[in-house]
Structure 1
């Protein structure tokens, strides 16, 4: 199969779909890999590394799209890429269709085979291709939230860990999934007081077992959310319904209940966000303020640490890329049910119905 890797062009997105090691494995398996020049530079992988691995370098994204049977990306195609995608071409990437009607309609019109990383699902319900980026984003949520709590950037002026004689900051985490667990680890490591809310008591029991005593758990209810937003300095939204829009757990009117300078970090922004006031931002312009509450809603948070993120992502995507390349998408999806769950739109038909929810 002919596999293509293009340079990501979303704002401040420096990750790349395949590392040179991934290219080497594909070439060794008998496939041809086209890589757009400078595609890996932002992640620390220069063009000579790809050439040494056996890639054919091309000067433009147009050339890669024209040559490849399968495009391996990181982020969803944006408008300038829509016309480049051909009927029957496989596009394997994060799509997050539920948050973008424009993207959904464009991919329906393209009649491409759209396989979404975020809905590939193991038998136990876990999401193996979403997990590493959720781990990165969960950890970054605290890193960024701590920064934006600083007064010069309109935060409350709170140091999350506190100092002797001064109580630590308070972090509220909505969702005890991968994002929530990683955020709690980081916040707890800084010494913050952490509260995690979730509707799944099994998850809360797990958190209670593995986290230190200054991480506390409560059932997620509208009452408990409204109670805690009044006193917490940093609120992280990490709620996920696979493939579907995230529920709006914090509404616009609830912002007035928060202390001025409270920071909201919405990691669920790719799926529409779990705050009513969420709108996607970029690393170039990451925050905005509503009712004196700082919102950080960057839609590609892991893109800020591309070396780490690219390696973590390709660790899990490469085995699936090889399955598709070796078997073709139809045979691969028929043989591997986890991969079959990744089929979102095929030749103009929506197969993953949660997109429409």
Structure 2
């Protein structure tokens, strides 16, 4: 199969769809891999690294899309890429369709086969291609939150872990999934007082078992959220509903109850965000302030640490890329139910229920 890896053109997206190690696994199986010139540069991989393992370097993104039967990338295509995607071409990437009707309709019009990393699902319900980026984003949420609590950036002027004689910050984590657990772990490690909330009691029991004493689990309800936001310094939203829009757990009116300089980090922004006031931002301009509350809602947080993120992503996507290349998408999805769950849009048809529901469109089968 002919596989293309273009440069990511989303704002400040520094990751790349495949490492040289991943390319080697494909070329040794006699597949052809096209890498756009300098695609891996910001992740620490040079064109020479790719050439050494048999990749063909192409100068432009247009050439990569034109040559490839399958595109492997990181983030969803953006408007300049829509016209480059062809009928029957396989596009394997993060899509998050439920948060964008424009993207959904563009991919339907392309009649491509869109396989979304974020909905590939194992029998136990876990999302193997989302987990590593959720781990990165969960840890980064605390790193970024701690920074934006500083007064020059309009935060409350609080050091997350405090110092002897001065209490640490209070961190509220919404969601006890991968993002929430990683965020709680990082915040606790820095010495903050952490409250983590979820509606899944099994997850809360797990959190209580593995976390240190400065992490307290609590059942999530509007009443409990309203209680905690009044004195929380950093609020992290890490709620996920597979393939669907995130629920709005913090509404606009709740901001009035928060302390000026409170920081909110919405890791669920790719799925529409779990704060009503969430608007996607970029690494170039990451924050905005509403009612004296600092909002951080960068839609590609792991793009700021591209070497770590690219390595972690290729570790999990490569086995599926190999299957798709060896068998073609139809046979690979038929033989691998986990991969089949990644099918979102196939040749103009929506085949994933949550996307059809999000835009009141017809759900079809393949």
Say whether the fold is shared (TM-score over 0.5): yes
The answer for the alignment partner of 1:304 in structure 2 is 304
1:142 aligns with 2:145: no
3-state DSSP class of the match of 2:248?
Answer: coil
* Aligned residue in 2 for 1:59: 59
- Provide the C-alpha distance between the structure 2 equivalents of 1:294 and 1:255, rounded to a whole number of angstroms: 10
* TM superposition shift of 1:334: 0.2
For 1:160 and 1:253, the matched residues in 2 are separated by 26
Q: Deviation per CA, 1:63-120, whole angstroms, max 9, x where unpaired?
A: 0100000000000000000000000000000000011111000000000000000000
Find the residue that maps to 2:3 and give its secondary structure. Answer: strand
Q: What CA distance in whole angstroms lies between the structure 2 residues aligned with 1:329 and 1:29?
A: 17
Q: Are 1:317 and 2:317 counterparts?
A: yes
2:291 is aligned to 291
The 5-angstrom pairing of residues 322-341 of structure 1 reads 322-341=322-341
Query: How far apart, CA to CA, are the structure 1 residues paired with 2:166 and 2:260?
Result: 19
Q: Structure 2: give runs of 5+ residues left out of the alignment.
A: 359-366
Deviation for aligned residue 1:353: 1.3
Q: How does 1:29-68 map onto structure 2 within 5 Å?
A: 29-68=29-68
Instruction: Give CA-to-partner distance per residue, 1:241-275, whole Å, 9 cap, x none.
Output: 01000000000000000000000000000000000
CA offset digits 1:300-347 (Å, max 9, x no partner): 000000000000000000000000000000000000000000000000
User: C-alpha distance in 1, partners of 2:330/2:42?
Assistant: 33
Matched with 2:85 is: 85
For residues 94 and 214 of structure 1, the distance between their equivalents in structure 2, rounded to whole angstroms, comes to: 34
Q: Name the counterpart of 2:181.
A: 181
Task: Give 1:80-229 correspondences, 5 Å limit.
Answer: 80-229=80-229
Structure 1 residue ranges, 4+ long, deviating more than 3 angstroms after superposition: none
**CA positional deviation for 1:348:** 0.2
SS in structure 2 of the partner of residue 134 of structure 1? helix
Cα distance per residue 1:127-179 (max 9 Å; x no partner) = 00000000000000000000000000000001010000001100000000000
**Structure 2: how far apart are the matches of 1:339 and 1:104?**
20
Partners of 1:10 and 1:211 lie apart in 2 by 36
User: Which residue number corresponds to residue 5 of structure 1?
Assistant: 5
- Cα distance in 2, alignment partners of residues 327 and 123 from structure 1: 21
Question: What are the Cα deviations for residues 14-37 of structure 1, in whole angstroms up to 9, with x where unaligned?
Answer: 100010111110000110000000
Instruction: Tell me the TM-score normalised to structure 2 length.
Output: 0.97
Structure 1 unmatched ranges of 5 or more: none
Name the residue aligned to 1:71: 71
Match of 2:263 in 1: 263
SS of match in other structure, 2:83: helix
Partner of 1:235: 235
SS of residue matched to 2:344: strand
Give the distance between the partners of 2:159 and 2:320, measured in 1 at CA: 42
Give 1:11 shift. Answer: 0.4
1:76 counterpart SS class: coil
Report SS of the residue matched to 1:255.
Answer: helix
Give SS of 2:281's match: coil
Q: Distance in 1 between matches of 2:211 and 2:64?
A: 47
Matched positions, count: 357
Quote how far apart the aligned CAs of 1:5 are. Answer: 0.3
Instruction: Output the TM-score relative to the length of structure 1.
Output: 1.00
For the residue of structure 1 that corresponds to 2:243, the secondary structure is coil
RMSD over aligned CA atoms reads 0.4
